[in-house]
Structures are given as C-alpha cells and as structure tokens.
Amino acid sequence: MNPGIYSIGGQSAAIVGTPYALSGVGPRTGTVRVLAVGGGGGGAFYGAGGGAGGFQETSVIVTAGVSVSVSIGAGGSASTGADTRSGLGSPSSFGNVISVGGGSAGTRTIASGTVGLYGPGYPGGSGGGGYATNAGSASVGQGNAGTVGTAAGFSGGGGGAGSAAGATVAATRGGAGGAGKVSTITGRTYAGGGGGGSASGTNFAAGGSGGGGQGGALSGTTAGAAGTVNTGGGGGGGTTNVTGGNGGSGVVVLRFSSALSFAASTGLTYSIAFSGDDEIVTITAGTGTVVFN
C-alpha cells in the first residue's frame, strides 16, 4: 500500500510513510544488558600491584540475525623486567562496548649495577601501582588510579573499578588494592586491584574486593597472588626475590528477555542461567560472535 488517503470502513484514514512501519514487517530488535570487564594487570617482581581491568555496564539494542563480535581479555603476566608493559591486561568487548585491560605495575629495577631505578605503573582500565613514583592512571568511566609506594620497598597497590588503591604504610605494608564494583546485572563484585608488595614482615597488602590478588611479602618469601579468573582482578605485587601475580582474565555477561533466543560461535566458552523471565549468558573465554533471534 502506498502513502495517501484511503477509505477504511467508510472513514478516511491517512497512510503515512512505508507499509513496513504500519504492518510491523522488518528487522526485529531487542535490548540486551551488557557487563564487560577487561583482563587485570599483572603485579611486578619487587614491585607494585596490577590495576583491575576496565568495568562497564550498559544496555545495547541488538537486531535479530545480526552477529555481534565478542572477545574476552586475558590477564597480564607478572612482570620481571624493568619495563612492565608486558603486564598490561587485554580488553574484553561486546560489539562497540570495549573495556580495556588493567594497568601494569611499577617495579624496582637494577641497571648497569645500579640499584634504585624505579619503573612506573602503567595506565589501563584501572591504573597499576607505582613502586616509588608514577602510579598508573585510569580510563575515564572504567576504573581508578593506582597509588605510589615508598622507596623503602613498600609498593603501591593497583586501582579498582570501585575505588583508588589504598595508601602504603612505610615499614609496615604496601598499599591495598582498590575495591572492585558490584554489577547490577549479576550482583557480584568485579575488577579489584592488586595489593602492593611489602619488603618485610608478614603484613600482606590486601587485594581489592572483586578478585584483586594479595600482595607478597619478604617474610616467608610469599609471592603476590594472582587476580581471580573472570573477574578482571589485578595481580598482587612481589618484593625482593618474590614474584608478583598474574592478572585475572576478564568476562562478558549478557542479560536479556528469554523471549529472545541466543546462539554463539564455537570460539567462545559460555554458560547459561535463568532468573525469572531473563536469560543470563556468562562468556568466560575466547573470541567469536553471538547472534539473537
């Protein structure tokens, strides 16, 4: 039917626009709530805690039959060298929703026989902690900054999605990792920062809630703990002869009406749960595509 004036049951009616708008024919769309958390940054040998992966929650309109790309970010490796950028976490994404990886941690380095060169923490979703200078900054809207430690070997903690890292206490402990953030989609906490390394004693710097790894301590040569898998938690920092921990991998969670059907490519690892009329898909590994119908 073309636009114009038509008689319907003896009454005149204007037909405006295309017949698709009137009949409901055309692409069907739906709303999907998305949680995306990037991989956490790694803690550093003789150094600080890693920053948490970026945290984002939003709603996305999807079109039936149209594939959406998905990727789950890996956690950064525990760094051992002077340049700790190898410890940066990797991003997680759902279409155009991209949560960056966590910042890597600063370390004390030895170069040309000279002790006391301090590598910086690097930025990320949340910033990595600094050994004694230059903590990493955070991506706007995705996390918080790390903190700086002291030259006495009590390193800064990595930032978390919910708060910046805690302050160091000289000759007592490194900085605690920043707190993570509670998801309104799952009710769980994600993206906690890693605790900084402590050069003496057994006063370990706590990892941030939401998967941040505890910092290591020289006493007992306890290494920094890894960030928790699929939380984007930062790895705990190490200290003298003690390694840091790896960052935790990221995650993507999708929540939508069970009136929509869901399918994923073979490149993704995921699980499905139900809550009332909602379907909740938790994607924990891989790179691939999903489609709704």
Name the residue ranges covered by the structural domains of the chain: 30-247+254-293
pLDDT for 115 equals 52
pLDDT for 171 equals 79
Read off the pLDDT of residues 250-290 as tens digits, 9 standing for 90 and up: 999 999 999 999 999 999 999 999 999 999 999 999 999 99
User: Closest Cα to residue 256, out of 5, 114, 61, 115?
Assistant: 61
* Token pair listed for 76: 């950064």
Read off the pLDDT of residues 15-74 as tens digits, 9 standing for 90 and up: 333 332 323 456 789 999 999 999 999 999 889 999 999 999 999 999 999 999 999 999
- The amino acid that residue 284 corresponds to is T
Give Cα 257 distance to the centre of its chain: 25
- The amino acid that residue 273 corresponds to is A
* Token pair listed for 205: 């710097």
Read off the pLDDT of residues 175-220 as tens digits, 9 standing for 90 and up: 999 999 999 999 999 999 999 999 877 789 999 999 999 999 886 5
pLDDT for 1 equals 38
Question: Position of tokens 């941040």?
Answer: 212
Contact criterion met (CB below 8 Å) for 126 and 140:
no
What are the CA-CA distances from residue 38 to residues 4, 43, 47, 72, 156 (Å)?
53, 16, 22, 7, 21
pLDDT for 220 equals 59
- Residues 235-241: what's their mean pLDDT? 89
Residues 6+ apart with CB under 8 A from 282: 186, 230, 251, 252, 253, 270, 271, 272, 273
